[in-house]
C-alpha cells in the first residue's frame, strides 16, 4: 500500500532523542530553547515559542490577541476542525467565510462582507502549504482594527513574496504533526515580533509560572516561583525539540524534493482537461505539504468512486479538505449556513500521496493509476 504521507525521520533524529533522554532533562528545557531560537532564525521572526501542538498554539494566540467571550473571528470552514475549535476555546464565535477555489484559501472579498462590530480577528489559513494573500488580509484587518492571526499548520518552509511564512504577522502558528513537512511526533510553534505577546505566550504555556524550571535549575540561589495567572500545560518536551532541531536542518532539502514530486504530478496531469491542478502564483512558494486535485463537473468519474478505485489498486488517498460547518460538532449550530464554493471544493477534490522519501516506482504507479481513470 502506498501511504498518503509518512514522516521523514532517520537515525539522526533517533540519536538526538536518545542523547536527550540520557541527559535527564526530559520536559521543556535547553533543547526547546535551542529549537525556538533556530526556528525563529529560519523563519525570520523575532521570537518563537514552542508548544505541544498547533491547536494549543492557536488557542494561546487567541488569548494574547484579546479574543474572548462573544467576539467573532472570521475563518474558513474549509480547514481542519482545529481552526474553528481554537476560536470556541475562548468563548468566541467562528464566522465561516468562503474560499478561493483556485487555492482553497480564504476569499478576501467574502471575508470583508462578514465583518461586523463584533468581529475581533481574522484567522487566515495557509491551506495545504499554499500561502494566502497576507498583504490583502493585512490591509483589510488594519482598515477595521482587527487582529490577523495566521494558521500556518501546513506551511512551514513556504514563502510569500520572498519572505518565509512566520515573519509577516504578530501571531503565526505551526504544526509538527506526522503529516506535516517536518515532525516532532506532535508539537507546535508560535512566531511573533511582539515582545509582549512573546512573554505572555511563554507564561501561559507553563501554568502561568513566573520562573520556569530551567531557570530555577540553573540558578545558584534558591528561587520560588509564583503563578501569575491561570495558564495551561502546553509545553513541548526536550525529546521532541531535539528531533525538531534535526528536522529543521534538512527542511529546505525536504521541500526541494517535495516540489520535484509535485512537478512530476503537474506534468503528468496537465493534459487531463477535467482536472484543476494546484495553482502557485508569482510570489507564492508552496512546500507542497499536500497535493490536491479538483475534479471538474465534466470528469468521467466522481471523486468517491475514484478514491475507492485508487485504494483497490493499493494507493491511499484522502478527501479534499473538510468543511467544519458540516461536521457533527458544528452542523446544528450552522444548519442554515450555505458555503457552496467551499462545499464543492471539499466534495470534488482528492489528495494524492506525497512524502519523502517516495520511491520512483511509487510515484510512477500513482501517476499511471490515477491517469488511467480519465482515459
First to last CA, the chain: 24
Query: C-alpha grid cell for residue 39?
Result: 526556528
| Cis amide bond preceding 180, omega within 30 | no
Q: What is the DSSP string of 36-100?
A: HHHHHHHHT-SEEEEES-HHHHHHHHHHHTT--TT-EEEEESBS-THHHHHHHTTT-EEEEE-B-
CB 9 within 8 A of CB 183: yes
Burial class (CB in 10 A: 0-12, 13-18, 19+), 43: buried
Would you call 323 helix, strand, or coil by DSSP? strand
Could you tell me if residue 188 is left (phi over 0), alpha (psi between -120 and 50 degrees) or otherwise beta?
beta
CA distance 227 to 2: 49
| Active-site hit among 180, 250, 257, 267 | 180
Catalytic annotation present for 331? no
Would you call 189 helix, strand, or coil by DSSP? strand
CA distance 349 to 322: 10
* Cross-strand partners of 122: 74, 148
Task: Tell which residue, 66, 95, 71, has the closest CA to residue 83.
Answer: 95
Task: Tell which residue, 342, 366, 364, has the closest CA to residue 352.
Answer: 366
Angle at the Cα of 105 from the Cα atoms of 94 and 110, rounded to 5 degrees:
60
Q: Give the catalytic positions in this structure.
A: 180
Amino acid at each position: 500500500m502506498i501511504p498518503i504521507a509518512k514522516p521523514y525521520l532517520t537515525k539522526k533524529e533517533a540519536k538526538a532523542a536518545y542523547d536527550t533522554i540520557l541527559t535527564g532533562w526530559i520536559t521543556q528545557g535547553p533543547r526547546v530553547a535551542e529549537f525556538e531560537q533556530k526556528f525563529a532564525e529560519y523563519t525570520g521572526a523575532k521570537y518563537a515559542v514552542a508548544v505541544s501542538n498547533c491547536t494549543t498554539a492557536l488557542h494561546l494566540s487567541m488569548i494574547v490577541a484579546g479574543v474572548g467571550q462573544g467576539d467573532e473571528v472570521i475563518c474558513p470552514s474549509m480547514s481542519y476542525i482545529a481552526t474553528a475549535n481554537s476560536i470556541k476555546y475562548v468563548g468566541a464565535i467562528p464566522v465561516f467565510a468562503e474560499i478561493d477555489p483556485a487555492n482553497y484559501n480564504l476569499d478576501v472579498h467574502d471575508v470583508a462582507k462578514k465583518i461586523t462590530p463584533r468581529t475581533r480577528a481574522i484567522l487566515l489559513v495557509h491551506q495545504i502549504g499554499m500561502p494566502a494573500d497576507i498583504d490583502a488580509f493585512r490591509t483589510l484587518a488594519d482598515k477595521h482594527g482587527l487582529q490577523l492571526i495566521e494558521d500556518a499548520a501546513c506551511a512551514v518552509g513556504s514563502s510569500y513574496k520572498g519572505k518565509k511564512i512566520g515573519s509577516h504577522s504578530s501571531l503565526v502558528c505551526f504544526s509538527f504533526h506526522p503529516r506535516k513537512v517536518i515532525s516532532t511526533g506532535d508539537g507546535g510553534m508560535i512566531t511573533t515580533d511582539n515582545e509582549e505577546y512573546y512573554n505572555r505566550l511563554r507564561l501561559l504555556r507553563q501554568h502561568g509560572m513566573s520562573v520556569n524550571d530551567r531557570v530555577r535549575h540553573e540558578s545558584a540561589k534558591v528561587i520560588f516561583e509564583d503563578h501569575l495567572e491561570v495558564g495551561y500545560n502546553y509545553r513541548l518536551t526536550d525529546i521532541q525539540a531535539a528531533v525538531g532541531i534535526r528536522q529543521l536542518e534538512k527542511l529546505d532539502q525536504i521541500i526541494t524534493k517535495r516540489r520535484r514530486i509535485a512537478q512530476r504530478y503537474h506534468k503528468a496531469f496537465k493534459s487531463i482537461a477535467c482536472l484543476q491542478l494546484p495553482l502557485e502564483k508569482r510570489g507564492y512558494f508552496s512546500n507542497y505539504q499536500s497535493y490536491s486535485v479538483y475534479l471538474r463537473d465534466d470528469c468521467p468519474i466522481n471523486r468517491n468512486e475514484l478514491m475507492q478505485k485508487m485504494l483497490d489498486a493499493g494507493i491511499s488517498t484522502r478527501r479534499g479538505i473538510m468543511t467544519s460547518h458540516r461536521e457533527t460538532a458544528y452542523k446544528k449550530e450552522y444548519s442554515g449556513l450555505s458555503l457552496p464554493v467551499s462545499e464543492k471544493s471539499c466534495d470534488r477534490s482528492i489528495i494524492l500521496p506525497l512524502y519523502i522519501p517516495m520511491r520512483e516506482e511509487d510515484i510512477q504507479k500513482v501517476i499511471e493509476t490515477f491517469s488511467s481513470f480519465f482515459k
